[in-house]
């Protein structure tokens, strides 16, 4: 289970995050966040799915470099 506060991955039965000690809340499958890849050129984004690793993706379809963000809003800063 991923911590909403810091993004640390915790074991499913943990009640508190091992890193920041925030209380972990049960998240429904459709609301889980595995991070996003955002293209530096076209600004297109791809939400990662369970089991996908950002390092497995080389470049965007447009040829631009991909950057990883936990939350899509971070890419707009």
Question: pLDDT for 2-23, tens place per residue?
Answer: 788 888 888 877 889 999 999 9
Whether residue 21 sits in one domain with residue 50: no
Whether residue 47 sits in one domain with residue 72: yes
Question: pLDDT for 27-70, tens place per residue?
Answer: 666 667 788 999 999 999 999 988 899 999 989 999 999 999 98
Domain residue limits at 59: 33-76
- Give the torsion sign (CA, 77, 27, 66, 69): positive
pLDDT score recorded for residue 50: 84
Task: Please give the tally of structural domains in the chain.
Answer: 2
Q: How far apart are CA 6 and CA 77, in angstroms?
A: 18
Flag whether pLDDT at 77 surpasses 90: no
Whether residue 67 sits in one domain with residue 37: yes
Query: Residues near 50 by Cβ (< 8 Å), separated by ≥ 6?
Result: 32, 34
């Amino acid at each position: 289970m991923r911590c909403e506060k810091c993004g640390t991955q915790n074991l499913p039965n943990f009640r508190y995050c091992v890193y920041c000690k925030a209380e972990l809340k049960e998240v429904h499958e459709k609301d889980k966040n595995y991070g996003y890849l955002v293209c530096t050129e076209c600004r297109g984004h791809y939400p990662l799915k369970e089991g996908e690793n950002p390092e497995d993706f080389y470049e965007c379809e447009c040829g631009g470099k991909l950057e990883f963000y936990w939350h899509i809003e971070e890419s707009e800063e």
